Chains A and B, each alone.
Chain A
Amino acid sequence: MKLKKIASSEITPEHIYNDRRNFIKKLGLILGSTALSAFTNKSFAALYTLPSFAQAKEGEKEKLTSLKDITSYNNYYEFGSSKSDPYEYAEKLNIDPWSISIEGSVKKPLKLDFDELIKEMPLEEHIYRLRCVEGWSMVIPWVGIPLHALLKKVSLNGNAKYVEFVSLKRPNEMIGQKIDILDWPYTEGLRLDEAMHPLTILAVGLYGKVLPKQNGAPIRLVVPWKYGFKSIKAITKIRLVEKMPISSWMKANPKEYGFYSNVNPKVDHLRWSQTTERRVGESLLSPRLKTQMFNGYHEEVAHLYQGMDLNKNF
């Protein structure tokens, strides 16, 4: 009997990605045995898909961006301003041990070791579009913790209106920080209701593997309806605050980068077109895609901004 030849189209990253058991094993090996049980018990309980993804006909499904592209084309200025710098230099960052503290307007401030965090929190798989303000996009299968689940643990007090996220400053390991391109450490912020939204996650993995360092290991924010720079990488601190925090990009260029930075094809950017985007990994001849309101998550998040002038609150 002749063996069937596997078409090259079948050997896709999705293939690897679907190989859950293998993944769990690998991930467990990397994270240690304690984490393994957490992953096997709780992981993938919920399988989120792109909103228009599940309903789409087979042929219309949005293709996942390849692991290679996701891990070699990054904006992560802590390691340099070229897209290939993070791939090259992020390895130097020491992420073990890593802890994350949740403080500010909370009743029970908390400092969690990363391993503890993984053990205690539910891990879910979320496939999200990521739209960069520069006009390119990807589709990424994240593994993450819903942020609201973590915030519930510290019981917020009534003053908390915003959430500020802080990364870290370690110029010896993050060589891009030797130049003051931004005010290091990188900071970002969300309104409390945005932070509590079920789509908002803290990602710890992608494509079923532990998050690569160039993608923000060990833990990063993912807010899929906002431009990519809002999704701060390598988080060390989450601070509940009363006043709107000023993010690194707002400080650097307040005219171009607003607090909300929602993906919005109707609000143009000074530099790049926001009406269309180029999907990374598509062939040389494929056209740009129309950028969707809130990056296609309109149904889920539009109510957060009802009655707001999005031209002013950009």
Chain B
Amino acid sequence: MKINQIYIKRLIFVVSLWPVLSLSLAIFLNNLGANPIEFIERHFGKWSLIFLCLTLGMTPLRKITHMNQWILYRRMLGLFTFFYVTVHLLCYIGLDYHFAWIDIKDDIIKHRYVLVGFSGWLLLLPLAITSSDEMKRKLKSNWKRLHRLIYLIAILGVLHFAWLVKKDITEPLIYASIIFILFLLRLNIFKWKNFKKI
């Protein structure tokens, strides 16, 4: 890794903490509105989807810009996705439900939006665990296959949002379209010339 890439990576790391900082500010300024727990849950939910889109965007960016360096940031963004989804889940379990496991179990079983959201987090687990270089080496070609799960996770994430909303699904549709475009880019529907593999 080149020196400037290391700095960019550090910069991305710091910027990726913005959701934590902005929420802390909102709590400090007492700006969470009438339903603070819902606010916090939505906050981390929204940022999970944003980071998921950013992660999925790195490979297409590499192709479009013919710059391999994007791939160097993909893992970190993916781990941030996992981090924010986990915080989102912990807020739901701890803040919202006060660890009332029976209620939580019922909620997961009975409500499809909770079910798909929870499944998404479960599927993220193996990806986070196998994100190290060592695991990548160990798993060989299986690693790539395993990590394709991210597309399924993205669909589950958007469904989670869309099924939560009562009627106006404009916002979930925005994420759905972004992810759809990223899928198309990945499927090599557009032909990439002079693309070097690393």
Contact = CB atoms under 8 A, between A and B. Distances in A.
A288 to B, nearest CB: 7
Interface in A268-291: 268, 270-273, 275-276, 278, 280-281, 284-285, 287-288
A136 interface: yes
B15 interface: no
A88 interface: no
Interface stretch (A8-16, A69-77, A105-113, A140-148): A69-77
Interface in B74-105: 95-98, 100, 103
A181 B97 CA distance: 31
A84 interface: yes
Main secondary structure of the interface of B (DSSP, over half): helix
Nearest to B32: A284
B168 interface: yes
Given A268-B110, A271-B113, A84 B33 contact: yes
A136 B103 contact: no
Contacts of B38: 136, 278
B197 interface: no
B34 A271 contact: no
Interface string B157-175: 0000001111110100000
Contact of A252 (B98, B103, B111, B167): B167
B37 interface: yes
A287 B99 CA distance: 10
A73 B35 contact: yes
Chain B interface size, as a band, is 20 to 34
Contacts, number: 64
A278 B98 CA distance: 12
A181 B167 contact: yes
Nearest to A290: B103
B33 A73 contact: yes
A81 interface: yes
B36 interface: yes
Contacts of A275: 103, 106
Interface residues of A, number: 31
A273 B107 contact: yes
Residue in A68, A81, A268 whose Cβ sees the most chain B Cβ within 10 Å: A81
A206 to B, nearest CB: 15
A18 to B, nearest CB: 23
A134 interface: yes
B103 A179 contact: no
Contacts of B10: none
Contacts of B37: 278, 284
Given A271-B163, A275-B103, A280 B111 contact: no
A143 to B, nearest CB: 21
Contact of A288 (B34, B97, B165, B166): B97
A182 B166 CA distance: 11
B110 A288 contact: no
A281 B30 CA distance: 12
Interface of A: 68-69, 72-73, 75, 77, 81, 83-84, 133-134, 136, 179, 181-182, 252-253, 268, 270-273, 275-276, 278, 280-281, 284-285, 287-288
Given A83-B35, A136-B38, A284-B95, 12 more contacts: A68-B34, A81-B165, A81-B166, A81-B168, A134-B166, A252-B167, A253-B167, A271-B163, A278-B35, A280-B35, A287-B98, A288-B98
Task: Give the 5 A-B residue pairs with the shortest CB-CB distance, closest first.
Answer: A73-B34, A81-B168, A69-B34, A287-B98, A280-B34
Interface of B: 33-38, 95-98, 100, 103, 106-107, 110-113, 163-168, 170
22 contacts: A73-B34, A75-B166, A77-B167, A81-B166, A81-B167, A81-B170, A83-B34, A84-B33, A133-B166, A179-B168, A181-B167, A270-B111, A271-B111, A271-B164, A273-B103, A275-B106, A276-B103, A278-B35, A278-B37, A278-B38, A285-B95, A288-B97
